[in-house]
Amino acid sequence: MTLSIDQQLALKTAASRLQSQFHGIFGTETIERFLNTSYDQFASNSTIPNFLPLLAERFARQRLHALAKVEGHVTDNKPIVLFLCVHNAGRSQMALGFFEDLAEDRAVAWSGGSEPGNQINPAAVEAMLERGINISREFPKPWTDEIVRAADVIVSMGCGDACPVFPGKRYLDWTLDDPAGKDVADVRPVRDEIERHVRELLQELGVEARV
């Protein structure tokens, strides 16, 4: 895919930020490889090409954090939870929103999909806003090897056999209705069930939930 001059400049700026953030941990070649492959993940089906460099930077940052954990560069002992569903547009995004809101900086959460969609489900966004949580800035994304390997707990929500299986990981399977195509009224019960699950998970992990 041919990049515009603006996109090339944006990716170069993103690489500089990532190099500064991961200085002493990863070299330039690794950072640029993660950034470029992250860009490629979204380029094929994105409807907003101007935002591609930003999405690529955010996803590359997450992947590099995961790799740093896997390679032992991260020693903060914060538990990492990975929420997975099919499109990473509804259930897993709501779970991520609740987890980050309740755990604050005491734990880490990521999300991904087996077949990532193009945008977050608007009904899920609206339902979460009713609870004071804004997930509109999130974006559907796949999972990658280093992200799965870095997670301490992997929560699947309907991705079935497509969910990755790694030995030694703790797996949870939450049975939840798919909010795809539903209106806000029908998404609310799913949202509330997800919140209940997330609160229970935080308690099991020994992570204090925000009051």
Q: What is the CA radius of gyration of the chain?
A: 17
One of 60, 85, 198, 201 is an active-site residue; which one?
A: 85
**Residue 190: which of 202, 200, 175 has the closest Cα?**
175
183: which 2 tokens? 């209106």
Q: Is 163 a catalytic residue?
A: yes
CA-based nearest residue to 91, from 210, 182, 203, 190: 190
Residue 155 contacts residue 107 (beta carbons within 8 Å): no
CA distance 130 to 94: 12
Q: How far apart are CA 10 and CA 106, in angstroms?
A: 32
Q: What six digits make up the tokens of 131?
A: 């609870």
Scan for tokens 């041919």, then name that residue: 2
**Residue 73 CA, distance from chain mean position:** 20
Of 60, 125, 159, 190, catalytic = 159
**Residues involved in catalysis:** 85, 159, 163
